Amino acid sequence: MTFYLWLKAFHIIFVVTWFAGLFYMPRLFVYHATATDEVSRERFKVMQAKLYKIIMNPSMIATLVLGIWLLIESWQAFSSQGWVWLKLFFVVALIGYHHYCLRIIKAFADDRVLHSEKFYRIFNELPSLVLVVVVILVVVKPF
């Protein structure tokens, strides 16, 4: 049981670091989309690339590895509970969101702006909504 709690603790730590990146990256997109000078645009390119490679990717991978491990350890208890399946749906959606961020990063690196500032502002809020839903699912276990 102690080992399971350690797994859970590190899973939560990496979820927090992954979400830090998921919260900050779209904010960088907003700033990048509105930047008017070359120095700022180049700075945002570097910031986006480093955030994605150094924080977001390792955090996502650790979150997924530890989450799968936790799921395997407790499969008998959780597999019949609906909230787990809905949580997994949102995890898959976050993985898609994460990879869509890479598409946007690559476009900015090529000096292309795929969307408007307004789009990036709305895009910035999506991880917050997912976080609220997932935390409620995990803590309340409504079904």
pTM of the entire predicted model: 0.94
Domain that holds residue 92: 2-140
Gap between the Cα atoms of 87 and 39, Å rounded: 41
**Domain count of the fold of the chain:** 1
61 token code pair: 């991978």
pLDDT in tens, the chain (143 residues): 799 999 999 999 999 999 999 999 999 999 999 999 999 999 999 999 999 999 999 999 999 999 999 999 999 999 899 999 999 999 999 999 999 999 999 999 999 999 999 999 999 999 999 999 999 999 999 99
